[in-house]
Chain A
């Protein structure tokens, strides 16, 4: 029975499960590190204890998140080779240096300064602690830069030449800054910001609903909601630009996102449908006339590419179509909720309990949208692993299917357990935060207050 399983499919599911689990944590740590710096600056500027309390809770969230990101990332460095040996054989000359630079410049920078950032508060001068925090934040961003450069190169490969069936680098500048890279990187960094904004808003709203009235909770809630309200319109604009870039370079992906079968003008925007690859048509379609042509071509009669132009060479339609709708749906919900909550904070100081409940429900909305977005772009690249260069089926390893299936089951069980533990510990930390722990009595203990604290300056 198990030997009937398709090793390519299993290898894809396993790699997909591992990379999906992994991406959850960097998505939070990339932006959360900058929010921590923001809390630090606010505290140093105002001397207001509430910013320190917010910092104290979210630095714990950061430490936990970072650890999960590191350990799940180790798995990735092994599975590039174990699951996709054909990948390194064919494009290792491109992927190798990009991955190596990620390890050398980003991983060591993050890991090297993390200890000082987390535990060095009372051990090093204030400037060094701030520098360590900034370097960790910079390291996480740098890591995103390298890995998105590589991923984007797999989507839109340029700057290389094929010799004896193996890709060789010709122009590194072109490889790193390939056509889809600036769009994908911006889209992902904004997704990280939105995920963290809703995480902080959700945890703060939860604390608020539990009757936690500390100013720190309101400060964090406002930070999360306003950050989301600022980022979401930018994200919608960038997402649209990213889509147009995809239309130019990977039209079959856009055709699958829109479930458009024939290349034609005046294509409607499909809101819902059940795409049928056998019949090559949509069932139960609800659509807005001219919508897709307007969005993709900025004209009601613009021509939109159809899947039938790419028979046997386009991605599976259903997962791309539905994942895209989940991502966009959450994006629009984020827009409505964050603007409405911001409006309430502006008018009455904080959101009403009902809105707080919605925010709690959306604590991890950023995760869902980010994963859905990655499924659109990664499944949308199929059947290619590297567009036009290497097919996924040609890169798979010779490891027997039962072995992959058994390890897959073990990984899935571990991940499900850790995800449940992570989510429940985050809410536990939020609940526990109101119990007064260490309050800062002796300002000399806190190094960074000496970096231009107005209160101190006034005293002097």
Chain B
């Protein structure tokens, strides 16, 4: 097949996987940050310790996704990020504050610790909100107007709640005792907002674009696509029933809600990806119109095929080393 045809598709897949991994992995980091004010000082330390060894690598998937957008689809990078210039600035400053608060809270003097905890919370919340806001604008194809911005506010709130949900599920898996009990309660509370958010996006996306409506609600596509909403519903019910039965004396099933949250992310993302393919800027630029020269893409693609399995291998190693319930973090 012609390189100019399949390489942009391969890059779109790589970029999609990077965004999905970022949303899942930094999603739970940000969620833990959003939940931080609801915990006691000791619990805060344990919550931070549960994400300490991972957050840095998790955030690298955002650099990877934006980097792939930049090098694979430079025109789209320019259009999308110039349009979202304001929310992007909020996101970046929030991510900076969140990332450094993580280090400063443990290293600055004790009187400053509560302030860095507040910075960690604020950074996590603003980062989640601005990502959700950008998602809302993107879904509406960057249409201006009050409705589009009101919808973006809704997606912002829902994404923050969804991050809080996956963060709570992470804590259910990684903590014990009082914090574990609290995390179960947080997960139950935020699950409702997740359902609302997924429903809002599922309804708004086909309404915003005739093309997307036709892609979902035509025969026989509708049958092939039915598993996405059906499985999502089944997982939501399953996770809900599981959370009702927690905490359990036996911790062997503590990972189940987190796995459910990951699957919900995957399904939701698949739905969105199906809606927007083959556009990288909704209804304006396809991946082929926006792609770089094939020979440059080929150089990167060859490298990515070789390097990505290695990255996945040592990411798995890191999760294996820090498996089980979170313990105190020590440099020595």
Contacts and interface: CB of A to CB of B under 8 A. Distances in A.
Nearest to A104: B307
Q: Which secondary structure characterizes the binding site on chain B?
A: helix
A41 interface: no
B181 interface: no
A99 B93 contact: no
B180 to A, nearest CB: 21
A414 B93 contact: yes
A71 B88 CA distance: 14
Interface stretch (B202-210, B274-282, B298-306): B298-306
Interface residues of A, number: 73
Interface in A35-92: 52, 55-56, 59-60, 63-64, 66-68, 70-75, 77-78, 80-82, 85, 88-89, 92
Given A103-B67, A118-B53, A78 B60 contact: no
B95 interface: yes
A77 B70 contact: yes
Contacts of A440: 332
Chief secondary structure at chain A's binding surface: helix
Contacts of B221: none
B92 to A, nearest CB: 5
Contacts of B74: 81, 85, 88-89, 92, 96
Contact of A115 (B56, B63, B107, B108): B56
A235 B243 CA distance: 62
A346 interface: no
Given A96-B300, A446-B332, A78 B88 contact: yes
B57 A418 contact: no
B242 interface: no
Contact of B314 (A97, A99, A113): A113
A411 B299 contact: no
Nearest to B302: A97
Interface stretch (B79-87, B158-166, B231-239, B257-265): B79-87
Interface of A: 52, 55-56, 59-60, 63-64, 66-68, 70-75, 77-78, 80-82, 85, 88-89, 92-97, 99-101, 103-105, 107-109, 111-116, 118-124, 166, 168-169, 172, 397-399, 403, 407, 410-411, 414, 418, 421, 424-425, 428-429, 438, 440, 446
Interface of B: 52-54, 56-57, 59-60, 62-64, 66-72, 74-75, 77-78, 81-82, 85-86, 88-89, 92-93, 95-100, 102-104, 107-109, 292-293, 295-296, 299-300, 303-304, 307-308, 311, 314-315, 317-318, 321-322, 329-332
Sorted from nearest, which 8 A-B pairs have the closest CB atoms?
A: A115-B53, A96-B71, A85-B78, A88-B74, A71-B99, A81-B77, A111-B57, A407-B89
28 contacts: A55-B332, A60-B107, A67-B99, A68-B103, A70-B60, A77-B67, A81-B74, A81-B78, A81-B81, A82-B88, A92-B74, A92-B296, A96-B292, A96-B296, A99-B67, A103-B67, A108-B307, A112-B311, A115-B57, A118-B329, A120-B322, A403-B85, A421-B100, A421-B104, A425-B107, A428-B109, A429-B107, A438-B330
